[in-house]
Structure 1
Amino acid sequence: MDWSSFIQGAFGGLLIGLSAVMLMVTLGRIAGISGMVSGLIFDRFTAESAWRLAFVLGLISGPLLLVVLNGSLGNVAGNPEAVVGAPIGGVPLMVVAGLLVGLGSGIGNGCTSGHGVCGIARLSPRSMLATLVFLLTGVVTVYVVRLMTGHSL
């Protein structure tokens, strides 16, 4: 076991949980990223937009800060095979996948951050079911794509 990766992952998870709790305690809001981005894009600019923008900019600034301090995005960008494997498709496939994820989060009234992190922590049955559907859909999608592309399982 690589303890360095374990500690980094645990620390990252702790920061995600802490940010979700802080948002709930201070503003009474759920840290659902799809809802935040949707609100920024489709709603007129209000006081709500300020905290949404701050949260999203915080998400973006983390990797940028890592690049500035470390010169890379960590071992995933430096060696894709090390953690997640090389991407199967190019940019067009990733754009389609991103649009499908956005569509799914709209249909599911939330994403893995809202349902999976915040909803499960609140013991919401709806969020537990939504997260289970997200995970099962991901597993089935990987299986089907690997069968279609001939990659080994």
Structure 2
Amino acid sequence: MTTWLSALAGGVLIGLAATLLLWLNGRVAGVSGIFNGVIFPNKGDVAWRYAFLIGLIVAGGAYMAFVPGAPLPRTDYSRTALLAAGLLVGFGTRMGNGCTSGHGVCGLARLSLRSFVAVLTFMATAMATTFLVKHVLS
């Protein structure tokens, strides 16, 4: 499968999953919010969250296991750097009141101005970070 075709298929599947979660469960597919609901659960609102998160992990593992030439995760990062990055991402999703999936997939689809500003901020920060790491610090 060509790169653009697999990217298109992935985007369609993400959009379909987000749409089905909203239609069938009345919930937005923002991964940080779903994870937050597992960490700080409300009674009767946990099972679907676990199912969603387990589905993300299983689908990623299945893709790596069954698709020839699928990219594998990098293993050359220090655990300390990964922990720091995870904490920074968690802090950022709290500050931004959502993550890239919530704002980028669901918020933009609902034409949310707040999500549009958040996605612009995510993208600008990602570009600046990549430039710094690749061209200034290396």
Query: Please, what TM-score do these two structures have when normalized by structure 2?
Result: 0.88
Matched, 1:5 2:15: no
Contact 2:64–2:71, Cα closer than 8 Å, also in 1: no
Aligned residue in 2 for 1:63: 60
Aligned residue in 2 for 1:40: 38
Count matched residues: 138
In structure 1, the gaps of 5 or more residues are 81-85
Aligned residue in 1 for 2:125: 137
Aligned partners of 1:133 and 1:87: how far apart in 2? Answer: 28
Aligned residue in 2 for 1:83: none
The aligned amino acid for 1:14 is V
State which of 115, 119, 132 in structure 2 corresponds to 1:127.
Answer: 115
Shift of 1:60: 0.6
CA displacement 1:72-101 (0-9 Å, x = unmatched)? 7x4322xx8xxxxx7884332222112111
CA displacement 1:121-152 (0-9 Å, x = unmatched)? 000000100111111111111222234532xx
Calculate percent identity across the aligned residue pairs: 42
Aligned residue in 1 for 2:47: 50
Matched, 1:75 2:63: no
Query: Please, what TM-score do these two structures have when normalized by structure 1?
Result: 0.80
The aligned amino acid for 2:19 is V
Aligned partners of 1:61 and 1:117: how far apart in 2? Answer: 21
The aligned amino acid for 1:76 is P
In structure 2, the gaps of 5 or more residues are none
Aligned residue in 2 for 1:108: 96
The aligned amino acid for 1:114 is G
CA RMSD of superposed structures (Å): 2.2
